[in-house]
Amino acid sequence: MRFGARLSEAISEHGPLCVGIDPHPGLLASWGLSQDAAGLERFALTCVEAFGGRVAVVKPQAAFFEAHGSRGVAVLERVIADLRGSGTLVLVDAKRGDIGSTMAAYAAAYLTEGSPLAGDAVTVSPYLGFGSLDPAREAAAASGRGIFVLALTSNPEGASVQRAVGADGRSVAQSIVDEAARANAGADPLGDVGLVVGATLGELDVDLSDLRGPVLAPGFGAQGATVADLRALFGSDLRGVLPTSSRDVLRHGPETASLRSAVDAVRRSLEM
């Protein structure tokens, strides 16, 4: 089954929520854990126990695992395997982007069956040209996985590139949206090429009407975006939108029951 179809099923079962696993040093400290690979492992596996089988998607942030070297990457591999074993979709937030054989190597690592770093989807950057993502798109299609392409992020620095207008009158962000829409043409219920669009933007100056793919919306919760903000940006139907909550849930650790209660509260808020 293709990624878009599996994601649609997961959203129908669990609601449109993506929970992040971000083992930030400050969170490790607040959980009373050591700032090393052992503390990282305890943090991450507690999250797996709390979230596995309870939400549509879990998104481990690769950088916080890589910061601990090979032992940290080994923890990430276990997180991916354990979550997928629980039936939970895994979006590896790695934001990879390169050209040619190097992009193909990233695709092999994150999108090829049998790779220990391959979840169900990965975030990628299109800012070497959307065509540079072809190896990732091809690998994803071959293995039934998906990609989420950075389109319109909420960091202030992003606007100078993403909102720049090209010779055809479109913003760079809109050109990325249009390329993703072409890749998803004819997909039902959702395509395999998603976009990353910040939930805290305030207003949406790109047209997503032809996308036919999922939208990852980081910034929900602790970063300030509310359900009302999501509906103002994306409309009342959030079935194809994945609000991402990380710190707003993770601050309730380290008790598994408290983390689950926090997830349930966020899920209920999205149903209102």
User: 95 catalytic, yes or no?
Assistant: yes
Structure tokens at 228: 């009302």
d(CA 252, CA 255): 7
- Environment class of 14 (CB within 10 Å of its CB; exposed 0-12, middle 13-18, buried 19+): middle
Beta bridge partners of 267: none
Catalytic pick among 14, 84, 95, 163:
95
Q: How far is Cα 142 from Cα 12, in angstroms, rounded to an integer?
A: 25
Strands (E), the chain: 18-21, 57-60, 89-96, 121-124, 146-152, 193-197, 215-218, 241-245
User: Between the CA of residue 172 and those of 68, 141, 175, 195, 207, what are the distances in Å?
Assistant: 35, 25, 5, 13, 12
The total of other beta-carbon atoms located within 10 Å of residue 119's CB is 28
Among all residues, which ones are annotated catalytic? 95
